[in-house]
Each structure stands twice: as structure tokens, then as C-alpha cells.
Amino acid sequence: MGRIVKGNEQFASEDIRKGISEKMKGEGNYFYGREHSEETKQKIREHHPHLNMRGEKHFNWKGGVWQTIRRMALRRDDYTCQRCGLREPSIMVVDHIKPKSIFPELLLVLENLEVLCPNDHARKSVLDEKQYNVSSIKKKQKKLIYARNNS
């Protein structure tokens, strides 16, 4: 008979936690030896202000401008997918027509927002990838910052 364990109680013991944090410090950790210096972190924050803000300043902060403008878009489009016409308020996604990674200045512009269902949002992401090569641009941005910080 096994004893009843509440939630993750069995993982919460000090020994195990210590074991995990020891592992995290070691070479097994992906970030081993790569930790960003404070200066580097500051530079990343400067170059990606919309991605690196925390709490109240993060664009997705619950009480923030994004949540307000997101609601405006949902109301404007009446919670209806702009591609297929599905109306299912609880699952709708507010999409950036021009990707926010390429056009950060359009992050909070209502005209750049459209309501999509999850399916059409997934399709749209594939199209964005083809049209703008989003992931390679993100990679280039990362490389650029890395080069700046290590020259």
C-alpha cells in the first residue's frame, strides 16, 4: 500500500531540491558558463524593450495597455475569427497582422490587430514565417546583440 501523497509533496524534500540545484550549477546545465553579465542583460533590455520588460512594464502585463487594446480588438471584431467566421469568445486569439518581432512599433496599434481562431492563428504564423522569415530575423537580432556584447 503506497501512502497518499498530496500534489508534488514527494518532490519537495530538501535533499532532492538540493540535488537539482547542484545539477543546475554543473556542466550538465545548458547555461553553464554562459551566464549573462549584468551589463549584457542591460544591453539586451535596451535593444528589446518590448520583450524584456517585467511586471508593470511588460507589454502583456494584465493591467497594462496591451490588455486594454486586446479587449478593444476583441470587441471591434465581435470575438469572431476574421478568416473563417468562428465566434467562440473563450478561445479567440488577438493576432498582430504585421508580426510584432519585425514591427515592434505596431505592437499596440489597434489597426494592426485582428481576432483569429487558434487554427487560423497557427496558419497565419506559418504564413508570417514564409513572408517575413521571422525566426531567422530573430536569430540575426540575437547574433547582432551577441556580437556587440562580445566585441
Residues that bind Zn ion (CB under 5 A): 81, 83-84, 86, 117, 120
Between 44 and 95, whose beta carbon lies closer to Zn ion?
95
Residue partners of 101: CB distance under 8 A and separation at least 6: 134, 137, 138
Between 26 and 85, whose beta carbon lies closer to Zn ion?
85
**Please, what is the minimum distance in Å from the beta carbon of residue 78 to Zn ion?**
14
- Read off the DSSP letter of residue 103: -
**Please, what is the minimum distance in Å from the beta carbon of residue 81 to Zn ion?**
3
Between 50 and 83, whose beta carbon lies closer to Zn ion?
83
Closest CA to 145 of 29, 20, 43, 26: 43
**Please, what is the minimum distance in Å from the beta carbon of residue 116 to Zn ion?**
6
**Please, what is the minimum distance in Å from the beta carbon of residue 67 to Zn ion?**
22
Between 44 and 81, whose beta carbon lies closer to Zn ion?
81
CB 81 within 8 A of CB 92: yes
Q: Kindly state the cell numbers that stand for 44.
A: 539586451
CB 107 within 8 A of CB 50: yes
**Distance (Å, rounded) from C-alpha 35 to C-alpha 93?**
34
